[in-house]
Amino acid sequence: MIYLQLFTTFFLIGLFSFGGGYAAMPWILSLVVEQRQWLTTAEHADLTAIAEMTPGPIGVNAATFVGTRMAGLPGAVICTLGCITPSLIIVLCLAFLYRKYRDLALMKQILTRLRPVVVALVASAGLTILKLALFGEGGSFADLRYVELGLFLLALLVLRNTKISSILVLLGSATLGTVIYLFF
């Protein structure tokens, strides 16, 4: 029963991938590629690239890709459901606890210490993407891309000083950058 296998495989991937979508990739390699042999290693590498190049959560992208290849649209839906079910159960429990106990003194104390650490998490994710944008994969400081640097500064300036939505800023800077690369 392929649907059941797809569901349980992606349920496990969803359950074990701590630390966001990229953490799912090694599990996909071991469960989908090595154990089930639903994808080749080359397809797995492609999948990583596509999941990154397309919008939306990386885990859902990967689930849809494998599901579609194995069993069409129903497969895509089943894999996506499998991959989000553990999240749904665990996050809802945590959300419920948060809402119930957030005003307790101990909980307040814990949250006070968690918040600055979360800022650091977001900052480090930002730094990783910024490095990738400005220097490319594994690039050194000599590889600084001036177009991307200009786009980054311009986008940041717009975000800081206007109320233009971040999606418009993203689309605008991507369009501008593509035009610059294509025509200059």
Partner 1 sequence: MNEETKSAFYEQPHPYISLFIKMLTISAFTFGGGFVIISMMRRTFAQKLKWLEDQEVLDMTAIAQSAPGALGVNSAIIFGYQIAGLPGVAVSLTATVIPPLVILSVLAFFYQQFISDPIAQIVMQVLRAGVAAVIVDVVIDLASNVIKSKDILNLVLMITAFLALVVFKVSSLLIILAALVIGILPIGRKES
Instruction: List the interface residues with partner 1, window 45-104 (CB under 8 A).
Output: 46, 49-50, 52-61, 64-65, 67-69, 73, 76-77, 80, 83-84, 86-88, 90-92, 94-95, 98-99, 102
Please identify, using beta-carbon distances, which residue of 4 and 73 lies nearer to partner 1.
73
Q: Rounded to the nearest whole angstrom, what is the least distance from the CB of residue 7 to partner 1 in the complex?
A: 15
The position carrying tokens 């890709």 is 65
Segment 93-152, which members bind partner 1 (CB under 8 A)?
Answer: 94-95, 98-99, 102, 106, 109-127, 129-130, 132-134, 136, 147-149, 151-152
56 three-class SS: coil
Provide the b/e sequence for 49-79 (b: ≥16 CB within 10 Å): eebeeeeebbbbbbbbbbbeebbeeebbbbb
CA-wise closest residue to 6 among 91, 89, 73:
73
For residue 86, with 0-12 CB atoms within 10 Å meaning exposed, 13-18 middle and 19 or more buried, which class applies? Answer: middle
42 binds partner 1 (CB under 8 A): no
Residues 162-181 that bind partner 1 (CB under 8 A): 163, 165-167, 169-174, 176-178, 180-181
Closer to partner 1 by CB, 1 or 117: give it. 117
Are 89 and 83 in contact by the 8 Å Cβ rule? The answer is no
* Residue 117 C-beta: closest distance to partner 1, Å: 4
